Amino acid sequence: MSTHTESTDPYATGIVDDEAVADAHVFNIEGGDWDDLVDEATSLNEERIVVNMGPQHPSTHGVLRLILELDGETVTEARAGIGYLHTGIEKNMEFRTWTQGVTFCTRMDYLTPLFQEAAYCLAIEKLLGITDDIPERASVIRVLMMEMTRISSHLVALGTGGMEMGATTVMTIGFRERERILGIIEMITGLRMNNAYIRPGGVAVDLPPGTIDAIRDMVPKVRKGIGELEALLNENPIVKGRMVDVGVLDLAGCMALSVTGPVLRSTGLPYDLRKSDPYCGYETYDFDVITRTSSDAYGRLRVRIDEMYESLKIIAQCADRLQDNPGPVMVADKKIGWPAQLALGPDGLGNSLDHIREIMGESMESLIHHFKLVTEGFRVPPGQVYQAVESAKGELGCHLVSEGGTRPYRAHFRDPSFNNLQAVAAMCEGGMIADVIVAVASIDPVMGGVDR
């Protein structure tokens, strides 16, 4: 009869007998890399496989490396390797003026550029103490741009996620509707992505003629397209077979890993900064926070689809407000706000003719001020601030530190993809290798925001 002993290893589970203790192994793996894992697996003579997935797998929308340890087709360990898209954006922002920084941060998560711009500019405005001075029209335009960007990002998430599971039609419909959104964004900003449109004090330029009509024409078409996606996906038995109970992460896991956005709301928690900590006047808009309770990849799919409908509701409200409010789009303080009442000329968008006439022919002081504002920039009082917005992927925060100069002393962003990507191990371990693709796609990470 064998005796029972308590294992001294903190990772061993329960009470085991002496014979089992002699043969038992508890493996603790910390850090390491591909070669280390392979050497260890070889030395132990175990039937396990280490697979290096990436860093070019399409489900990552970029360059994410997943190191998977497999027992047959079951994932026993999953780790994410990041840093392959590191751009040094945050460090570069320390060597540019506050306004020039917009051009950098818009390129982080390249699918949600206007969210980064909004968080950064709202943080600067907090440091300047001009939050309440931002014109109403500028705030409405910011909301309009962010909600169109939210739909655009979700359509990429659904389209690429669908294609990774073999549904090409989901991809073509998703990108077709995204083109309608990007057409409006390009009409307003001049660019489809990396817009540098939202600036400290307001926005770069007012809406060109015909924008409101174009928005009202776009909304029902996109709503119809989202309906087509719903018909393809929501009750599709193949989709549900691949996504239901796959990549499960419950509320406790989300809280432990600081996961936000659709992944968190798929657990049933209605946490949305547009409601819990409003900015840009979101508290005045009529929309619902979408939640599900399944905590799986299918729940995240449904959350994103329903959120697009809510964004269309907000966009329609923005169009009505912009129709009724023709005010300025840049703060009145000329020491901060760049010229923003622009005019269409033969060379495209440019400074208004009145502004050009004044600085080039009437006032040397205005010319000097314009030159110093554009080249040197404005000064921001010393201090630090944190400003968060509800990006398409979750809480996007901007932490700025100012020494009182014309450049940030430090700029750092809390990108939601970075935090959410921590959930890969919790979602994938214990599941099948094919489910890793679905789980990662349901997180919707963009590595430009993760690596920065």
pLDDT digits (tens, 9 = 90+) for 198-207: 999 888 888 8
Beta bridge mates, 37: none
Rounded to 5 degrees, what are φ and ψ at 111? -95, -10
In the structure, what pLDDT confidence band is assigned to residue 123 with cuts at 50, 70 and 90?
A: very high
Please check the confidence at residue 308 and state whether its pLDDT lies above 90: yes
The span from the CA of 431 to the CA of 78, in Å, is 10
The span from the CA of 67 to the CA of 427, in Å, is 14
Lowest mean pLDDT among 79-93, 232-246, 252-266, 341-355: 341-355
Looking at the chain, the whole-number percentage of residues with pLDDT higher than 90 is: 31
The span from the CA of 436 to the CA of 68, in Å, is 9
Looking at the chain, the whole-number percentage of residues with pLDDT higher than 70 is: 85
Q: Which helix (H) or strand (E) holds 71?
A: strand 65-71
Averaged pLDDT, 64-88 = 84
- Number of residues that make up the chain: 452
Q: The pTM is what?
A: 0.84
Amino acid, single-letter form, for residue 112? T
CATH number for the domain running over 99-337+380-451: 1.10.645.10
pLDDT averaged over every residue in the chain: 84
- Assigned token pair, 143: 């909301």
Q: Would you give the distance in Å from CA 111 to the centre of its chain?
A: 7
**pLDDT of res. 44:** 63
**pLDDT of res. 1:** 45
Domain ranges of the chain: 1-28, 99-337+380-451, 341-377
350 three-state secondary structure: strand
* Positive or negative torsion for Cα 56, 61, 66, 72: negative
**pLDDT of res. 2:** 43
The pLDDT tens digits of the residues spanning 134-181 come to 899 999 999 999 999 999 999 998 988 888 787 888 889 999 999 999
Amino acid, single-letter form, for residue 430? G
The span from the CA of 130 to the CA of 132, in Å, is 5
The pLDDT tens digits of the residues spanning 228-285 come to 998 888 888 888 888 888 888 889 988 989 999 899 999 989 998 999 999 988 999 9
**pLDDT of res. 113:** 92
**pLDDT of res. 20:** 53
Rounded to 5 degrees, what are φ and ψ at 271? -95, 115
